[in-house]
Chains A and B, each alone.
Chain A
Protein backbone atom coordinates (compact mmCIF):
# COMPACT_ATOMS: atom_id res chain seq x y z
CA UNK A 1 0.00 0.00 0.00
CA UNK A 2 2.77 2.43 1.00
CA UNK A 3 4.81 1.43 -2.06
CA UNK A 4 1.82 2.14 -4.29
CA UNK A 5 1.34 5.60 -2.73
CA UNK A 6 5.02 6.42 -3.20
CA UNK A 7 4.82 5.27 -6.82
CA UNK A 8 1.91 7.63 -7.44
CA UNK A 9 3.78 10.52 -5.77
CA UNK A 10 6.88 9.88 -7.87
CA UNK A 11 4.87 9.70 -11.09
CA UNK A 12 3.04 12.95 -10.26
CA UNK A 13 6.29 14.76 -9.37
CA UNK A 14 7.94 13.55 -12.59
CA UNK A 15 4.91 14.58 -14.65
CA UNK A 16 4.86 18.06 -13.11
CA UNK A 17 8.62 18.44 -13.58
CA UNK A 18 8.55 17.31 -17.20
CA UNK A 19 5.52 19.47 -17.92
CA UNK A 20 7.22 22.47 -16.38
CA UNK A 21 10.40 21.80 -18.36
CA UNK A 22 8.41 21.52 -21.60
CA UNK A 23 6.56 24.73 -20.80
CA UNK A 24 9.67 26.73 -19.99
CA UNK A 25 11.87 25.45 -22.80
CA UNK A 26 9.44 25.88 -25.67
CA UNK A 27 9.69 28.81 -28.01
CA UNK A 28 7.27 31.61 -27.13
CA UNK A 29 4.10 31.57 -29.15
CA UNK A 30 2.99 34.64 -31.07
CA UNK A 31 0.88 36.06 -28.23
CA UNK A 32 3.68 35.78 -25.70
CA UNK A 33 6.12 37.36 -28.18
CA UNK A 34 3.75 40.23 -28.81
CA UNK A 35 3.44 40.78 -25.04
CA UNK A 36 7.23 40.81 -24.71
CA UNK A 37 7.49 43.42 -27.47
CA UNK A 38 4.82 45.58 -25.85
CA UNK A 39 6.50 45.33 -22.43
CA UNK A 40 9.83 46.19 -24.02
CA UNK A 41 8.38 49.27 -25.73
CA UNK A 42 6.58 50.31 -22.53
CA UNK A 43 9.75 49.92 -20.48
CA UNK A 44 11.64 52.12 -22.97
CA UNK A 45 8.84 54.69 -22.92
CA UNK A 46 8.93 54.73 -19.10
CA UNK A 47 12.69 55.21 -19.06
CA UNK A 48 12.79 57.94 -21.72
CA UNK A 49 9.85 59.83 -20.25
CA UNK A 50 11.36 59.73 -16.78
CA UNK A 51 14.76 60.87 -18.08
CA UNK A 52 13.13 63.75 -19.96
CA UNK A 53 11.18 64.93 -16.90
CA UNK A 54 14.33 64.62 -14.78
CA UNK A 55 16.03 67.38 -16.81
CA UNK A 56 14.03 69.92 -14.81
CA UNK A 57 16.45 72.33 -13.10
CA UNK A 58 14.33 72.37 -9.94
CA UNK A 59 15.45 68.92 -8.83
CA UNK A 60 18.10 67.93 -6.29
CA UNK A 61 21.27 66.64 -8.01
CA UNK A 62 21.46 63.44 -5.94
CA UNK A 63 17.81 62.76 -6.73
CA UNK A 64 18.41 63.37 -10.43
CA UNK A 65 21.28 60.85 -10.33
CA UNK A 66 19.00 58.22 -8.79
CA UNK A 67 16.25 58.99 -11.31
CA UNK A 68 18.68 58.77 -14.25
CA UNK A 69 19.86 55.38 -12.92
CA UNK A 70 16.25 54.20 -12.82
CA UNK A 71 15.71 55.42 -16.39
CA UNK A 72 18.88 53.70 -17.58
CA UNK A 73 17.79 50.41 -16.00
CA UNK A 74 14.37 50.63 -17.63
CA UNK A 75 15.89 51.28 -21.07
CA UNK A 76 18.47 48.49 -20.60
CA UNK A 77 15.91 45.93 -19.46
CA UNK A 78 13.73 46.76 -22.47
CA UNK A 79 16.22 45.13 -24.84
CA UNK A 80 16.68 42.20 -22.48
CA UNK A 81 12.97 41.44 -22.67
CA UNK A 82 13.17 40.38 -26.31
CA UNK A 83 16.86 39.50 -26.55
CA UNK A 84 17.42 35.88 -27.50
CA UNK A 85 13.75 35.28 -28.37
CA UNK A 86 13.09 33.95 -31.87
CA UNK A 87 9.97 35.44 -33.50
CA UNK A 88 7.61 32.47 -33.98
CA UNK A 89 6.04 33.75 -37.20
CA UNK A 90 6.41 36.44 -39.88
CA UNK A 91 4.01 38.83 -38.12
CA UNK A 92 6.16 38.62 -34.98
CA UNK A 93 9.26 39.24 -37.08
CA UNK A 94 7.66 42.41 -38.49
CA UNK A 95 6.85 43.50 -34.96
CA UNK A 96 10.49 42.95 -33.94
CA UNK A 97 11.74 44.84 -37.00
CA UNK A 98 9.50 47.80 -36.08
CA UNK A 99 10.61 47.79 -32.43
CA UNK A 100 14.38 47.30 -32.62
CA UNK A 101 15.13 50.61 -34.41
CA UNK A 102 13.09 52.42 -31.76
CA UNK A 103 15.13 50.74 -28.99
CA UNK A 104 18.39 51.66 -30.77
CA UNK A 105 17.28 55.25 -31.19
CA UNK A 106 16.13 55.37 -27.55
CA UNK A 107 19.58 54.30 -26.31
CA UNK A 108 21.27 56.94 -28.50
CA UNK A 109 18.87 59.69 -27.43
CA UNK A 110 19.28 58.81 -23.77
CA UNK A 111 23.09 58.83 -24.06
CA UNK A 112 22.99 62.21 -25.84
CA UNK A 113 20.75 63.62 -23.12
CA UNK A 114 23.10 62.44 -20.37
CA UNK A 115 26.11 63.87 -22.23
CA UNK A 116 24.41 67.23 -22.73
CA UNK A 117 23.67 67.42 -19.00
CA UNK A 118 27.22 66.51 -18.06
CA UNK A 119 28.54 69.19 -20.48
CA UNK A 120 25.93 71.74 -19.27
CA UNK A 121 25.06 72.29 -22.96
CA UNK A 122 21.57 73.78 -22.98
CA UNK A 123 21.13 73.64 -26.77
CA UNK A 124 22.19 69.99 -26.98
CA UNK A 125 19.87 69.19 -24.09
CA UNK A 126 16.95 70.81 -25.88
CA UNK A 127 17.69 68.84 -29.07
CA UNK A 128 17.91 65.58 -27.12
CA UNK A 129 14.68 66.37 -25.27
CA UNK A 130 12.87 67.09 -28.56
CA UNK A 131 14.13 63.80 -30.02
CA UNK A 132 12.95 61.97 -26.93
CA UNK A 133 9.47 63.51 -27.18
CA UNK A 134 9.20 62.26 -30.77
CA UNK A 135 10.40 58.81 -29.72
CA UNK A 136 7.87 58.73 -26.88
CA UNK A 137 5.08 59.33 -29.40
CA UNK A 138 6.41 56.53 -31.61
CA UNK A 139 6.70 54.13 -28.68
CA UNK A 140 3.19 54.99 -27.51
CA UNK A 141 1.89 54.28 -31.02
CA UNK A 142 3.73 50.94 -30.99
CA UNK A 143 2.28 49.99 -27.60
CA UNK A 144 -1.26 51.05 -28.56
CA UNK A 145 -1.05 49.29 -31.92
CA UNK A 146 0.19 46.01 -30.50
CA UNK A 147 -1.79 45.50 -27.29
Chain B
Protein backbone atom coordinates (compact mmCIF):
# COMPACT_ATOMS: atom_id res chain seq x y z
CA UNK B 1 0.00 0.00 0.00
CA UNK B 2 2.83 2.32 0.93
CA UNK B 3 4.62 1.47 -2.28
CA UNK B 4 1.46 2.08 -4.34
CA UNK B 5 1.08 5.44 -2.62
CA UNK B 6 4.69 6.28 -3.41
CA UNK B 7 4.23 5.42 -7.09
CA UNK B 8 0.96 7.38 -7.29
CA UNK B 9 2.53 10.36 -5.62
CA UNK B 10 5.49 10.21 -7.95
CA UNK B 11 3.22 10.11 -11.00
CA UNK B 12 1.14 13.00 -9.78
CA UNK B 13 4.29 14.98 -9.11
CA UNK B 14 5.61 14.25 -12.58
CA UNK B 15 2.32 15.37 -14.16
CA UNK B 16 2.34 18.72 -12.42
CA UNK B 17 6.08 19.04 -12.76
CA UNK B 18 6.17 18.53 -16.53
CA UNK B 19 4.70 21.93 -17.43
CA UNK B 20 6.91 24.99 -17.26
CA UNK B 21 6.93 28.51 -18.72
CA UNK B 22 8.27 27.20 -22.05
CA UNK B 23 5.35 24.77 -22.42
CA UNK B 24 2.85 27.46 -21.42
CA UNK B 25 4.23 30.07 -23.84
CA UNK B 26 4.81 27.69 -26.75
CA UNK B 27 1.43 25.94 -26.51
CA UNK B 28 -0.53 29.18 -26.08
CA UNK B 29 1.19 30.96 -28.97
CA UNK B 30 0.81 27.98 -31.25
CA UNK B 31 -2.84 27.45 -30.36
CA UNK B 32 -3.58 31.11 -31.16
CA UNK B 33 -1.74 31.06 -34.51
CA UNK B 34 -2.20 27.52 -35.77
CA UNK B 35 -5.18 26.18 -33.85
CA UNK B 36 -4.39 22.51 -33.27
CA UNK B 37 -2.50 22.04 -36.55
CA UNK B 38 0.70 21.47 -34.56
CA UNK B 39 -0.90 19.14 -32.02
CA UNK B 40 1.15 16.22 -33.39
CA UNK B 41 4.36 17.77 -31.99
CA UNK B 42 3.10 17.35 -28.41
CA UNK B 43 3.00 13.53 -28.37
CA UNK B 44 6.23 13.41 -30.40
CA UNK B 45 7.98 15.56 -27.79
CA UNK B 46 6.44 13.68 -24.86
CA UNK B 47 7.50 10.28 -26.23
CA UNK B 48 11.01 11.66 -26.73
CA UNK B 49 11.35 12.87 -23.16
CA UNK B 50 9.86 9.58 -21.89
CA UNK B 51 12.43 7.54 -23.82
CA UNK B 52 15.40 9.52 -22.58
CA UNK B 53 14.09 10.12 -19.06
CA UNK B 54 13.64 6.35 -18.68
CA UNK B 55 17.27 5.87 -19.70
CA UNK B 56 18.36 8.49 -17.15
CA UNK B 57 16.21 6.95 -14.43
CA UNK B 58 17.59 3.49 -15.19
CA UNK B 59 21.14 4.81 -15.01
CA UNK B 60 20.43 6.50 -11.67
CA UNK B 61 18.75 3.37 -10.24
CA UNK B 62 21.44 0.89 -11.38
CA UNK B 63 24.64 2.85 -11.29
CA UNK B 64 23.62 5.00 -8.31
CA UNK B 65 25.11 7.97 -10.12
CA UNK B 66 23.53 10.68 -12.26
CA UNK B 67 23.95 10.52 -15.99
CA UNK B 68 25.92 13.76 -16.29
CA UNK B 69 28.53 12.40 -13.90
CA UNK B 70 28.94 9.31 -16.09
CA UNK B 71 29.05 11.31 -19.34
CA UNK B 72 32.24 13.02 -18.23
CA UNK B 73 33.76 9.75 -17.05
CA UNK B 74 32.76 7.74 -20.10
CA UNK B 75 33.28 10.27 -22.90
CA UNK B 76 36.09 12.35 -21.47
CA UNK B 77 36.37 15.87 -20.10
CA UNK B 78 36.20 17.60 -23.51
CA UNK B 79 32.87 16.06 -24.46
CA UNK B 80 31.69 16.63 -20.91
CA UNK B 81 32.73 20.27 -21.14
CA UNK B 82 30.88 20.72 -24.45
CA UNK B 83 27.82 19.15 -22.85
CA UNK B 84 28.21 21.34 -19.77
CA UNK B 85 28.70 24.58 -21.72
CA UNK B 86 25.64 24.15 -23.87
CA UNK B 87 23.31 22.77 -21.25
CA UNK B 88 24.38 25.17 -18.48
CA UNK B 89 23.78 28.24 -20.66
CA UNK B 90 20.33 26.98 -21.65
CA UNK B 91 19.55 26.00 -18.06
CA UNK B 92 20.56 29.45 -16.84
CA UNK B 93 18.34 31.19 -19.39
CA UNK B 94 15.52 28.78 -18.53
CA UNK B 95 15.98 29.58 -14.83
CA UNK B 96 15.65 33.29 -15.62
CA UNK B 97 12.54 32.61 -17.70
CA UNK B 98 10.98 30.53 -14.90
CA UNK B 99 11.68 33.19 -12.25
CA UNK B 100 10.16 35.73 -14.64
CA UNK B 101 7.15 33.43 -15.12
CA UNK B 102 6.61 33.19 -11.36
CA UNK B 103 6.83 36.99 -11.06
CA UNK B 104 4.30 37.39 -13.90
CA UNK B 105 1.92 34.96 -12.17
CA UNK B 106 2.19 36.96 -8.94
CA UNK B 107 1.55 40.17 -10.92
CA UNK B 108 -1.70 38.69 -12.22
CA UNK B 109 -2.93 38.19 -8.66
CA UNK B 110 -1.50 41.34 -7.07
CA UNK B 111 -1.72 43.91 -9.87
CA UNK B 112 1.85 45.00 -9.03
CA UNK B 113 4.41 45.04 -11.86
CA UNK B 114 6.34 41.77 -12.19
CA UNK B 115 9.77 43.47 -12.06
CA UNK B 116 9.20 44.34 -8.42
CA UNK B 117 8.48 40.68 -7.67
CA UNK B 118 11.59 39.28 -9.34
CA UNK B 119 13.97 39.81 -6.36
CA UNK B 120 11.33 38.48 -3.93
CA UNK B 121 10.80 35.36 -6.04
CA UNK B 122 14.57 34.83 -6.26
CA UNK B 123 14.93 35.07 -2.46
CA UNK B 124 12.00 32.68 -1.91
CA UNK B 125 13.51 30.28 -4.42
CA UNK B 126 16.93 30.33 -2.83
CA UNK B 127 15.48 29.92 0.67
CA UNK B 128 13.38 26.98 -0.50
CA UNK B 129 16.38 25.34 -2.14
CA UNK B 130 18.49 25.93 0.96
CA UNK B 131 16.07 24.93 3.68
CA UNK B 132 13.36 22.63 2.33
CA UNK B 133 13.81 18.93 1.76
CA UNK B 134 14.05 17.69 -1.83
CA UNK B 135 10.90 15.59 -1.51
CA UNK B 136 8.96 18.47 -0.01
CA UNK B 137 9.92 20.81 -2.86
CA UNK B 138 9.13 18.27 -5.52
CA UNK B 139 5.76 17.22 -4.14
CA UNK B 140 4.54 20.65 -3.05
CA UNK B 141 4.94 22.26 -6.46
CA UNK B 142 4.34 19.15 -8.54
CA UNK B 143 1.00 18.47 -6.86
CA UNK B 144 -0.08 22.12 -6.83
CA UNK B 145 0.76 22.27 -10.54
CA UNK B 146 -2.11 19.86 -11.06
CA UNK B 147 -4.36 22.93 -10.71
CA UNK B 148 -3.60 23.48 -14.40
CA UNK B 149 -6.18 20.77 -15.07
CA UNK B 150 -8.62 23.70 -14.86
CA UNK B 151 -7.76 24.55 -18.48
CA UNK B 152 -8.84 21.09 -19.59
CA UNK B 153 -12.01 21.54 -17.50
CA UNK B 154 -12.58 24.88 -19.30
CA UNK B 155 -12.30 23.08 -22.64
CA UNK B 156 -14.77 20.39 -21.58
CA UNK B 157 -17.21 22.77 -19.84
CA UNK B 158 -17.09 25.45 -22.53
CA UNK B 159 -18.65 25.53 -25.96
CA UNK B 160 -15.68 23.80 -27.56
CA UNK B 161 -15.99 22.91 -31.27
CA UNK B 162 -14.36 19.49 -30.87
CA UNK B 163 -14.89 18.43 -34.46
CA UNK B 164 -13.18 21.62 -35.64
CA UNK B 165 -10.22 21.07 -33.31
CA UNK B 166 -9.96 17.46 -34.47
CA UNK B 167 -10.12 18.56 -38.10
CA UNK B 168 -7.24 21.01 -37.59
CA UNK B 169 -5.18 18.39 -35.74
CA UNK B 170 -5.70 15.88 -38.55
CA UNK B 171 -4.70 18.45 -41.18
CA UNK B 172 -1.15 19.34 -40.03
CA UNK B 173 -0.44 22.15 -42.48
CA UNK B 174 0.12 25.89 -42.01
CA UNK B 175 -3.10 27.76 -41.29
CA UNK B 176 -4.26 30.77 -43.28
CA UNK B 177 -1.74 33.58 -43.12
CA UNK B 178 1.12 31.31 -42.04
CA UNK B 179 3.77 29.62 -44.14
CA UNK B 180 5.89 26.48 -43.84
CA UNK B 181 8.84 28.41 -42.38
CA UNK B 182 6.85 29.66 -39.39
CA UNK B 183 5.10 26.27 -39.12
CA UNK B 184 8.39 24.39 -38.67
CA UNK B 185 9.88 27.16 -36.50
CA UNK B 186 7.08 26.74 -33.98
CA UNK B 187 7.18 22.96 -34.32
CA UNK B 188 10.83 23.06 -33.25
CA UNK B 189 10.04 25.45 -30.38
CA UNK B 190 7.27 23.16 -29.11
CA UNK B 191 9.47 20.08 -29.46
CA UNK B 192 12.27 21.83 -27.57
CA UNK B 193 9.86 22.83 -24.78
CA UNK B 194 9.11 19.13 -24.19
CA UNK B 195 12.77 18.09 -24.24
CA UNK B 196 14.65 20.90 -22.47
CA UNK B 197 17.98 19.57 -21.15
CA UNK B 198 17.37 20.39 -17.50
CA UNK B 199 14.52 17.84 -17.38
CA UNK B 200 16.76 14.82 -17.90
CA UNK B 201 19.55 16.14 -15.66
CA UNK B 202 17.06 16.83 -12.90
CA UNK B 203 15.31 13.48 -13.36
CA UNK B 204 18.61 11.63 -13.14
CA UNK B 205 20.10 13.63 -10.25
CA UNK B 206 16.75 13.59 -8.49
CA UNK B 207 16.74 9.80 -8.66
CA UNK B 208 20.10 9.76 -6.87
CA UNK B 209 18.81 12.34 -4.34
CA UNK B 210 15.92 10.02 -3.58
CA UNK B 211 18.29 7.04 -3.28
CA UNK B 212 16.72 5.05 -6.10
CA UNK B 213 17.92 1.47 -6.34
CA UNK B 214 17.10 -1.33 -8.76
CA UNK B 215 13.89 -1.87 -6.79
CA UNK B 216 12.78 1.68 -7.70
CA UNK B 217 12.99 1.07 -11.45
CA UNK B 218 9.21 0.62 -11.55
CA UNK B 219 8.76 4.00 -9.87
CA UNK B 220 11.18 5.65 -12.27
CA UNK B 221 9.42 4.16 -15.29
CA UNK B 222 5.97 5.05 -13.95
CA UNK B 223 7.07 8.64 -13.43
CA UNK B 224 8.37 8.79 -16.98
CA UNK B 225 5.78 6.79 -18.92
CA UNK B 226 2.65 7.86 -17.06
CA UNK B 227 3.56 11.16 -15.45
CA UNK B 228 5.07 12.91 -18.46
CA UNK B 229 2.31 12.04 -20.96
CA UNK B 230 -0.35 13.20 -18.51
CA UNK B 231 1.75 16.33 -18.01
CA UNK B 232 1.66 16.77 -21.77
CA UNK B 233 -2.12 16.65 -21.50
CA UNK B 234 -2.00 19.59 -19.10
CA UNK B 235 0.16 21.46 -21.60
CA UNK B 236 -2.45 20.74 -24.27
CA UNK B 237 -4.91 22.67 -22.11
CA UNK B 238 -3.09 25.86 -23.13
CA UNK B 239 -3.01 24.95 -26.82
CA UNK B 240 -6.64 23.88 -26.88
CA UNK B 241 -8.05 26.93 -25.08
CA UNK B 242 -5.96 29.29 -27.22
CA UNK B 243 -7.25 27.49 -30.33
CA UNK B 244 -10.85 28.02 -29.19
CA UNK B 245 -10.69 31.59 -27.88
CA UNK B 246 -7.91 33.35 -29.79
CA UNK B 247 -7.39 31.56 -33.10
CA UNK B 248 -10.91 32.27 -34.53
CA UNK B 249 -10.47 35.98 -33.70
CA UNK B 250 -7.00 36.20 -35.27
CA UNK B 251 -5.54 37.32 -31.92
CA UNK B 252 -1.96 36.32 -31.08
CA UNK B 253 -0.99 35.34 -27.54
CA UNK B 254 2.08 37.11 -26.26
CA UNK B 255 1.41 37.50 -22.52
CA UNK B 256 0.85 35.12 -19.63
CA UNK B 257 -2.35 36.96 -18.79
CA UNK B 258 -3.81 36.01 -22.17
CA UNK B 259 -2.76 32.36 -21.72
CA UNK B 260 -4.95 31.90 -18.61
CA UNK B 261 -7.84 34.14 -19.76
CA UNK B 262 -9.96 31.25 -21.14
CA UNK B 263 -10.15 29.68 -17.67
CA UNK B 264 -11.70 32.89 -16.36
CA UNK B 265 -14.09 33.33 -19.27
CA UNK B 266 -15.53 29.82 -18.86
CA UNK B 267 -15.23 29.16 -15.13
CA UNK B 268 -15.20 32.64 -13.60
CA UNK B 269 -13.00 33.86 -10.76
CA UNK B 270 -12.42 30.42 -9.26
CA UNK B 271 -11.30 28.97 -12.57
CA UNK B 272 -9.02 31.93 -13.17
CA UNK B 273 -7.54 31.71 -9.67
CA UNK B 274 -6.87 27.98 -10.15
CA UNK B 275 -5.18 28.63 -13.48
CA UNK B 276 -2.94 31.35 -12.04
CA UNK B 277 -2.13 29.17 -9.01
CA UNK B 278 -1.28 26.31 -11.37
CA UNK B 279 0.99 28.56 -13.42
CA UNK B 280 2.66 29.83 -10.24
CA UNK B 281 3.28 26.29 -8.98
CA UNK B 282 4.42 24.95 -12.35
CA UNK B 283 6.87 27.78 -12.96
CA UNK B 284 8.14 27.85 -9.35
CA UNK B 285 8.59 24.08 -9.50
CA UNK B 286 10.45 24.44 -12.77
CA UNK B 287 12.58 27.21 -11.20
CA UNK B 288 13.45 24.75 -8.41
CA UNK B 289 14.40 22.11 -10.97
CA UNK B 290 16.45 24.45 -13.14
CA UNK B 291 18.11 26.01 -10.10
CA UNK B 292 19.16 22.58 -8.84
CA UNK B 293 20.11 21.43 -12.37
CA UNK B 294 22.48 24.39 -12.73
CA UNK B 295 24.25 23.20 -9.61
CA UNK B 296 24.07 19.52 -10.51
CA UNK B 297 25.72 19.87 -13.91
CA UNK B 298 28.60 22.08 -12.76
CA UNK B 299 29.28 20.14 -9.55
CA UNK B 300 29.09 16.76 -11.28
CA UNK B 301 31.45 17.88 -14.04
CA UNK B 302 34.08 19.10 -11.59
CA UNK B 303 33.56 16.21 -9.19
CA UNK B 304 32.41 18.39 -6.29
CA UNK B 305 30.03 17.27 -3.57
CA UNK B 306 26.49 18.01 -4.63
CA UNK B 307 22.85 17.56 -3.75
CA UNK B 308 20.35 18.42 -1.10
CA UNK B 309 20.76 15.05 0.62
CA UNK B 310 24.25 15.98 1.84
CA UNK B 311 24.84 18.60 4.54
CA UNK B 312 25.42 22.04 2.93
CA UNK B 313 28.94 22.29 4.33
CA UNK B 314 29.86 19.19 2.30
CA UNK B 315 28.38 20.69 -0.86
CA UNK B 316 29.33 24.32 -0.40
CA UNK B 317 30.42 24.81 -4.02
CA UNK B 318 27.22 23.21 -5.28
CA UNK B 319 25.12 25.63 -3.25
CA UNK B 320 27.35 28.52 -4.34
CA UNK B 321 26.76 27.69 -8.00
CA UNK B 322 23.02 27.53 -7.37
CA UNK B 323 23.10 30.92 -5.64
CA UNK B 324 25.21 32.53 -8.37
CA UNK B 325 22.93 31.08 -11.04
CA UNK B 326 19.90 32.61 -9.34
CA UNK B 327 21.68 35.97 -9.07
CA UNK B 328 22.69 35.85 -12.74
CA UNK B 329 19.09 35.09 -13.68
CA UNK B 330 17.82 38.04 -11.66
CA UNK B 331 20.40 40.30 -13.29
CA UNK B 332 19.22 39.17 -16.71
CA UNK B 333 15.58 39.86 -15.83
CA UNK B 334 16.40 43.29 -14.41
CA UNK B 335 17.68 44.34 -17.86
CA UNK B 336 13.91 44.59 -18.52
CA UNK B 337 13.92 41.83 -21.10
CA UNK B 338 10.39 40.50 -21.50
CA UNK B 339 10.25 37.07 -19.78
CA UNK B 340 8.00 35.76 -22.55
CA UNK B 341 10.49 36.88 -25.22
CA UNK B 342 13.32 35.38 -23.16
CA UNK B 343 11.41 32.09 -23.05
CA UNK B 344 11.07 32.08 -26.84
CA UNK B 345 14.81 32.65 -27.36
CA UNK B 346 15.59 29.99 -24.76
CA UNK B 347 13.46 27.40 -26.54
CA UNK B 348 15.31 27.92 -29.83
CA UNK B 349 18.71 27.88 -28.14
CA UNK B 350 17.62 24.77 -26.30
CA UNK B 351 16.85 23.09 -29.63
CA UNK B 352 20.38 23.87 -30.84
CA UNK B 353 22.09 22.22 -27.86
CA UNK B 354 19.82 19.18 -27.61
CA UNK B 355 22.27 16.86 -29.44
CA UNK B 356 24.98 17.72 -26.90
CA UNK B 357 22.64 16.57 -24.14
CA UNK B 358 21.01 13.48 -25.59
CA UNK B 359 23.77 11.77 -27.57
CA UNK B 360 25.94 11.21 -24.46
CA UNK B 361 22.90 9.84 -22.61
CA UNK B 362 22.36 7.27 -25.35
CA UNK B 363 26.03 6.25 -25.17
CA UNK B 364 26.01 5.85 -21.38
CA UNK B 365 22.73 3.90 -21.43
CA UNK B 366 24.40 1.32 -23.66
CA UNK B 367 27.47 0.90 -21.47
CA UNK B 368 27.55 -2.48 -19.67
CA UNK B 369 30.24 -1.27 -17.27
CA UNK B 370 27.62 0.97 -15.66
CA UNK B 371 24.39 -0.89 -16.29
CA UNK B 372 25.34 -4.53 -16.58
CA UNK B 373 22.50 -6.43 -18.17
CA UNK B 374 20.20 -3.40 -17.85
CA UNK B 375 21.60 -1.61 -20.88
CA UNK B 376 19.23 -0.41 -23.59
CA UNK B 377 17.29 -3.12 -25.36
CA UNK B 378 16.52 -3.02 -29.06
CA UNK B 379 13.33 -1.00 -28.54
CA UNK B 380 15.00 1.65 -26.41
CA UNK B 381 17.87 1.96 -28.88
CA UNK B 382 15.49 2.14 -31.83
CA UNK B 383 13.54 5.01 -30.33
CA UNK B 384 16.72 6.57 -28.97
CA UNK B 385 18.29 6.63 -32.45
CA UNK B 386 15.11 7.86 -34.16
CA UNK B 387 14.84 10.72 -31.69
CA UNK B 388 18.51 11.52 -32.00
CA UNK B 389 18.00 12.05 -35.74
CA UNK B 390 14.97 14.25 -35.05
CA UNK B 391 16.96 16.21 -32.46
CA UNK B 392 19.87 16.78 -34.86
CA UNK B 393 17.53 17.94 -37.64
CA UNK B 394 15.80 20.32 -35.21
CA UNK B 395 19.15 21.63 -33.97
CA UNK B 396 20.39 22.34 -37.52
CA UNK B 397 17.15 23.99 -38.65
CA UNK B 398 16.46 26.09 -35.56
CA UNK B 399 18.69 29.12 -36.17
CA UNK B 400 18.09 29.45 -39.95
CA UNK B 401 14.33 29.30 -39.35
CA UNK B 402 14.62 31.88 -36.59
CA UNK B 403 16.39 34.23 -39.02
CA UNK B 404 14.05 33.59 -41.95
CA UNK B 405 10.89 34.05 -39.86
CA UNK B 406 12.24 36.97 -37.83
CA UNK B 407 11.83 34.99 -34.63
CA UNK B 408 8.41 33.72 -35.61
CA UNK B 409 7.00 37.14 -36.53
Interface size class of A (residues with CB under 8 A): 20 to 34
Say whether chain B's binding surface is mostly helix, strand, loop, or mixed. helix
> Quick check: B245 and A53 within 8 Å, CB to CB?
yes
Contacts of A140 in B (CB 8 A): 250
Interface residue A45 (Cβ < 8 Å from any Cβ of B): yes
Interface residue B213 (Cβ < 8 Å from any Cβ of A): no
Contact with B along A56-73 (1 / 0, CB 8 A): 101111110111001000
Interface residue B388 (Cβ < 8 Å from any Cβ of A): no
Contacts of A66 in B (CB 8 A): 107-108, 111, 257
Given A39-B409, A74-B254, answer yes or no on A62-B109 (Cβ-Cβ < 8 Å).
yes
> Quick check: A136 and B258 within 8 Å, CB to CB?
no
Q: Which of B90-135 contact A (CB under 8 A)?
A: 107-111
Interface residue B251 (Cβ < 8 Å from any Cβ of A): yes
> Quick check: B250 and A60 within 8 Å, CB to CB?
no
Contacts of B246 in A (CB 8 A): 49
> Quick check: A53 and B250 within 8 Å, CB to CB?
no
> Quick check: A56 and B249 within 8 Å, CB to CB?
no
How many contacting A-B pairs (Cβ < 8 A)?
A: 73
Which single member of B177, B254, B265 contacts A46 (CB below 8 Å)?
B254
> Quick check: B258 and A35 within 8 Å, CB to CB?
no
Contacts of A65 in B (CB 8 A): 111
> Quick check: B251 and A45 within 8 Å, CB to CB?
yes
Interface residue A50 (Cβ < 8 Å from any Cβ of B): yes
- Nearest CB of chain B from residue A137's CB, rounded to whole Å: 9
Interface residue A113 (Cβ < 8 Å from any Cβ of B): no
Given A56-B265, A60-B273, A62-B111, answer yes or no on A70-B250 (Cβ-Cβ < 8 Å).
no
> Quick check: A63 and B264 within 8 Å, CB to CB?
yes
Residue picked from B110, B176, B177, B258, most chain A C-beta under 10 Å: B258
Interface residue B252 (Cβ < 8 Å from any Cβ of A): yes
> Quick check: A63 and B258 within 8 Å, CB to CB?
no
- Nearest CB of chain A from residue B135's CB, rounded to whole Å: 33
Residue picked from B177, B257, B272, B273, most chain A C-beta under 10 Å: B257
Interface residue B85 (Cβ < 8 Å from any Cβ of A): no
> Quick check: B108 and A62 within 8 Å, CB to CB?
yes
Contacts of B269 in A (CB 8 A): 58-60
Interface residue A143 (Cβ < 8 Å from any Cβ of B): yes
- A16 CA / B258 CA spacing, docked (Å): 41
- Nearest CB of chain B from residue A28's CB, rounded to whole Å: 13
- Nearest CB of chain A from residue B25's CB, rounded to whole Å: 14
Contacts of A46 in B (CB 8 A): 251-252, 254
Contacts of B409 in A (CB 8 A): 35, 39
> Quick check: B258 and A67 within 8 Å, CB to CB?
yes
- Nearest CB of chain B from residue A88's CB, rounded to whole Å: 18
- Nearest CB of chain B from residue A59's CB, rounded to whole Å: 5
Contacts of A67 in B (CB 8 A): 255, 257-258, 261
Given contacts A49-B249, A63-B264, A67-B261, 20 further A-B contacts (CB under 8 A): A39-B409, A42-B252, A45-B251, A46-B251, A49-B250, A50-B258, A53-B245, A54-B261, A58-B269, A59-B261, A60-B273, A61-B111, A63-B276, A66-B257, A70-B257, A74-B254, A136-B249, A136-B250, A143-B177, A144-B177
* Contact sample, A vs B, 11 pairs, CB 8 Å cutoff: A35-B409, A50-B257, A53-B245, A53-B265, A58-B269, A60-B272, A62-B108, A63-B108, A66-B107, A136-B249, A136-B250
